[in-house]
Amino acid sequence: MLISTENITVRYAETDQMGVVYHGNYLVWCEIGRTKLIEDMGYKYADVEKLGVLSPVTSVNMNYHFPAKYGETVTIQTWIEDYNGIRITYGYEIVNEAGVKCFSGTSGHVLVKKESFRPISLKKHFPEWHEAYEKNIKTSAVK
């Protein structure tokens, strides 16, 4: 299983008056982690978009454990939580410099044709990418 990591320095604009990261910014950080994971597997999401394929979010689960604060460097860890050939669930954990878990969550996605928004099979349209997902899924050791 591949776990991608990306470091972010918390910017002032991402925080509230108390210097605590605003909850919506964690979604942006998850997107950064997801993009990094895809690149670490050897692919670029932008290339898929050029082919008329999108990957909309279908679900989000966000759990806040401890506040990330202005000036800290946080680490986003991202992996493939679940994958069935059409639907993809990414897992996330964000920890601060002290190693304290600030956030955990998942986001669900599906690949769709841009013009129709109808789901497509990753296995059929992007077989190499499908193999990379199969290889790196968290539960693959259990299957």
pLDDT tens column, 45-54: 898 899 899 9
Active site residue 40: no
Per-residue pLDDT of 76-93, as tens digits, reads 999 999 999 999 999 999
Q: How far apart are CA 48 and CA 43, in angstroms?
A: 9
Q: Report all structural domains of the chain as residue ranges with CATH numbers, in order of start.
A: 4-137 (3.10.129.10)
What is the pLDDT at residue 139? Answer: 65
Per-residue pLDDT of 101-139, as tens digits, reads 999 999 999 999 999 999 999 889 889 989 999 999 876
Q: Which of 16, 40, 47, 82 is catalytic?
A: 16
Q: How far apart are CA 34 and CA 140, in angstroms?
A: 19
Q: What is the mean pLDDT of the chain?
A: 93
Q: Would the pTM count as exceeding 0.85?
A: yes
